Structure 1
Amino acid sequence: MTDPATALADITARIARTAQIAGRKADEVTLVAISKTHPAERIAPLIAAGQRVFGENRVQEAAEKWPALRDTNPDIALHLVGQLQSNKADEAVRLFDCIHALDRPSLVSALGKAMDKAGRQVPCFVQVNIGAEEQKGGCAIADLPALLDEVRTAQIPVIGLMCVPPLGIEPAPFFALLDKLATDNGLAGRSMGMSDDFETAIMLGATHVRVGSALFGARG
């Protein structure tokens, strides 16, 4: 079984090395440690080793697992990286510090209302269906400008774009496309790259990489 603290040191070094090759600074890339399905005892070594940004896929799982961990580590930032149902918007706004998968008008409406109700502005990435895959969430590329207009009208802080490239295909062209879309729409953030391809994503402009299995091993 992978030792999370040892794996963290390796991943951090690889991020720094890749950023240097790309002519970037290591601190331009945020490592989001994807802790979905892993229990608190697997997460604690990463916290002890200094990791402070974590990602979860499901609101309910995060609500059950993270309050106790954050009581003793209040500086932790928790990111929602999975699909969000509109009826979970209120709870997501209360629990998370960043949302990576804003992808449709109904969710824009739900999150806007939830943020107003909570008096809390949660930064969001708009997810783009970069490979035009029917089974995946994400906004169609052609619909992106209109959705961004709705997000901004709702006064939701949008900080970038997010994507998950098609499985089994070279990801670089998809990362390059997301980078171009972010630039064209005046957005600084690019949430792209996971355990198998985060170095490629960093070379192509990723500001947030979502690494799970390379840190924790197989899902619990």
Structure 2
Amino acid sequence: MTSIKNKLDHSQKRIAHAAKNASRSVNEIALLAVSKTKPSSDIIEAYQAGQRLFGENYVQEAETKINELSKQYPDIEWHFIGPLQSNKTKTVAHIFNWVHTLEREKIATRLSQQRPKDQAPINVCIQVNISAEDTKSGVLQNEVITLAKHIDGLNNIQLRGLMAIPSANVGEAQARLELSQLQALFIKLKVIYPQVDTLSVGMSQDLEFAVEYGSTMVRIGSAIFGARK
């Protein structure tokens, strides 16, 4: 069985190859290892292989892992990448470094209010429903700037960029259209808010396309940890 270290190495090589093809520096693109549903032992194995950024989707599961690992591995950067409800914001505000799935002013306000004052502001990405699908989370393209303005007025939260999950199982033309629209929106946001530096897009199956269209953080789970049960 291929080790997590070997799978991490393979994923990094894919990112490097995609960056080269897009005439970008590989140093511009971070790998977020999506460890949801996986045991702490898998996270430790990835950590020992050099991985420091981990993504979790479920608050209760993540809280258990973070409490277990944070003292021994204080340099792990924890990213929340799942749907966030109001009743979970306090926990997320206390234990995570990043939230990728911000889509409501109310949630932004609660994260800011509940972030401990002795911690650095929590980094956030606005989730964009780039394909405007009814079944998908995220704000529409024309709502991004309004939400960004609200976030920028809060004290304990830092706007870092955009996150999206493009349409699955569509043709190349549609995939490129969505990614190009997301890239244009990211560039627009960077002009208004100079601290914006993160475009969180691309997963195991489509990271090459994402890198071509400016992704700075790819979220890879199954290609590192194997299929989820």
TM-score range, shorter chain: over 0.9
Give TM-score, length-normalised by structure 1.
0.94
Shift of 1:164: 0.5
1:176 equivalent in alignment to 2:180: yes
Q: Does the 8 A contact of 2:33 with 2:219 survive in 1?
A: yes
> Which of 54-63 and 104-113 deviates more?
104-113
Shift of 1:93: 1.3
| Inter-partner Cα distance in structure 1 for 2:117 and 2:9 | 40
Match of 1:79 in 2: 79
Letter of the 1:196 counterpart: Q
1:192 equivalent in alignment to 2:193: no
| Inter-partner Cα distance in structure 2 for 1:46 and 1:116 | 29
Q: Does the 8 A contact of 1:93 with 1:120 survive in 2?
A: no
> Which of 75-84 and 164-173 deviates more?
164-173
Q: Does the 8 A contact of 1:33 with 1:215 survive in 2?
A: yes
Where do 1:55-70 residues align within 5 Å?
55-70=55-70
Q: Does the 8 A contact of 2:93 with 2:116 survive in 1?
A: no
Shift of 1:118: 6.1
Letter of the 2:201 counterpart: M
| Inter-partner Cα distance in structure 1 for 2:70 and 2:113 | 26
Shift of 1:40: 1.4
Shift in CA distance, 134/95, structure 1 to aligned 2, threshold 3 Å: same
Shift of 1:117: 5.6
Q: Does the 8 A contact of 1:33 with 1:54 survive in 2?
A: yes
Tell me the SS of whatever aligns to 2:31: strand
Number of paired residues?
Answer: 220
Match of 2:49 in 1: 49
| Inter-partner Cα distance in structure 1 for 2:119 and 2:4 | 36
Letter of the 1:181 counterpart: L
| Inter-partner Cα distance in structure 2 for 1:215 and 1:54 | 11
Match of 2:17 in 1: 17
Match of 2:34 in 1: 34
Shift of 1:192: 0.2
| Inter-partner Cα distance in structure 2 for 1:209 and 1:16 | 12
Match of 1:114 in 2: 114
- Per-residue CA deviation, residues 110-169 of structure 1 (Å, 9 max, x unaligned), is 112112666541110000111111111101112111111111112431010000112212
Letter of the 1:74 counterpart: P
